[in-house]
């Protein structure tokens, strides 16, 4: 079986720094001591590597896979100059961004996802090289991030979440004893060879309330980013707890993002906070849609999915819909998509990134920077997709 959307949430552990000790001689006046304290407290705290990396990320160049193949003669062994835990390093020649001038020599590192070093170390190297700038340090000039597997098309996404909704409705409303799944998330939806969804991992499931009870009181468990706020605050578990989690997944199929993505800019790390900036009835709603869909979806159906997600995510749990109602809504949305969706687009070369960057002259500088950040965020996703390729392009130091 394939995983619908697999990831693990990794939270950072922030170490508290001890407060600096103020030292001054006994003959200091009170006003002098106050000035020292004020100066110390007003000094800005140093930025971390992540902040420096995000600031400079917009200057990185996004390469197509075909460019790297051409630069290395299809990754010829004759151009291999090194090999390590991450993969192989090749010598290549890259054209300038504007196409003017002579090509320049670079080192191109191709990630081996079966190597000894993992994705976390790869991202760490990317961050550090993207943040530093010194003549005696290798310079990161760009990257390429290409998925070997195509993104799921729009209608197929809807069919998958419909099947998942039917599974939850069965647990909530069709069994003699109500079952609350308690850990619904995209990575727990597996796909068979026909892309039929199967709910998995019932380790946190609980029986629902009985004998007139309104909820089950239990310890709060689940996955960060999917648990309902009322459940987190009170420990009161109901079927509407699953409905909240389902609303999160609905936004995930629209955006192609996870509920929490720590490597994105701060304003985009929390999926719910980000999508709130683009209401369903606004002209900017399309901004949240997964770019890998390449506009091959029904906009009106997408708006309906967003409205349904918003309904599932209301704070008062009794106002959330039942999963049987969610099922009926999704069936109607599928009907809209069947009528309005444009024909599926086919790609001759899946190696190239379909989200090819437009020349800066054809877009505003801010839009170009945003597109670069979106591409860079792809590399930071902790996804173990088959045939994923990652490359790091570094300018050679006077290489010949």
Nearest Cα to Cα of residue 330 among 196, 152, 153, 157: 157
Q: For 137-150, b where at least 16 C-beta lie within 10 A, e where not — what string?
A: eebbbbbbbbbeee
> Residue 131 has which token pair?
């943040």
How far is the C-alpha of 98 from the C-alpha of 360, rounded, in Å? 10
Within the chain, where are the H helices? 30-42, 49-56, 65-71, 119-131, 154-169, 229-234, 239-255, 271-275, 299-312, 323-340, 365-380
Catalytic residues: 183
How far the first Cα of the chain sits from its last, in Å, is: 48
Nearest Cα to Cα of residue 143 among 114, 112, 98, 106: 106
Nearest Cα to Cα of residue 359 among 67, 97, 56: 97
Contact residues for 192 (Cβ-Cβ < 8 A; gap 6+): 1, 2, 198
Spacing of C-alpha 331 from chain mean position: 27
Which residue is it, tokens 């290489």?
Answer: 399
Which string of DSSP letters, residue by residue, matches 42-84?
Answer: HSPPPP-HHHHHHHHGGGSEEPPHHHHHHHTTTT-GGGEEEE-
Ligand-binding site membership of 110 (annotated): yes
Annotated binding site for ATP: 110
Annotated binding site: 110
């Amino acid at each position: 079986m394939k995983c619908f959307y697999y990831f693990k949430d990794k939270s950072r552990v922030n170490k508290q720094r001890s407060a600096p000790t103020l030292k001054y001689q006994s003959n200091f006046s009170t006003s002098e001591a106050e000035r020292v304290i004020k100066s110390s407290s007003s000094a800005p705290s140093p930025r971390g590597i992540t902040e420096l990396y995000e600031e400079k990320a917009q200057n990185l160049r996004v390469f197509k896979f075909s460019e790297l193949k051409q630069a290395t003669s299809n990754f010829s062994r004759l151009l291999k100059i090194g090999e390590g835990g991450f993969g192989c390093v090749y010598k290549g020649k890259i054209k300038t961004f504007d196409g003017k001038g002579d090509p320049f020599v670079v080192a191109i590192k191709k990630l081996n996802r079966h190597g000894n070093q993992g994705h976390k170390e790869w991202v760490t190297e990317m961050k550090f090289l993207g943040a530093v700038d010194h003549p005696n340090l290798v310079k990161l000039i760009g990257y390429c991030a290409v998925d070997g597997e195509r993104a799921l098309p729009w209608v197929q996404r809807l069919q998958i979440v419909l099947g998942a909704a039917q599974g939850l409705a069965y647990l909530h409303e069709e069994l003699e004893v109500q079952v609350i799944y308690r850990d619904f998330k995209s990575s727990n939806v597996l796909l068979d060879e026909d892309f039929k969804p199967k709910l998995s991992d019932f380790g946190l499931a609980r029986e629902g309330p009985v004998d007139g009870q309104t909820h089950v009181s239990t310890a709060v468990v689940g996955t960060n980013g999917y648990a309902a706020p009322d459940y987190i605050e009170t420990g009161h578990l109901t079927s509407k707890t699953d409905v909240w989690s389902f609303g999160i997944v609905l936004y995930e199929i629209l955006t192609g993002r996870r509920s929490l993505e720590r490597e994105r800019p701060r304003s985009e790390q929390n999926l719910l906070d980000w999508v709130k900036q683009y209401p369903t009835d606004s002209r900017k709603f399309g901004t949240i849609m997964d770019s890998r869909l390449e506009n091959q979806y029904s906009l009106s159906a997408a708006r309906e999915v967003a409205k349904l997600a918003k309904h599932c995510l209301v704070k008062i749990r009794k106002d959330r819909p039942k999963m049987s109602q969610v099922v009926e809504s999704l069936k109607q949305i599928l009907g809209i998509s069947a009528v309005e969706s444009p024909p599926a687009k086919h790609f001759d070369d899946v190696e190239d990134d379909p989200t090819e960057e437009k020349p800066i002259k054809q877009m505003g500088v801010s839009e170009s920077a945003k597109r670069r950040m979106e591409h860079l965020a792809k590399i930071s996703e902790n996804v173990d997709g088959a045939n994923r390729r990652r490359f790091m392009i570094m300018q050679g130091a006077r290489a010949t």
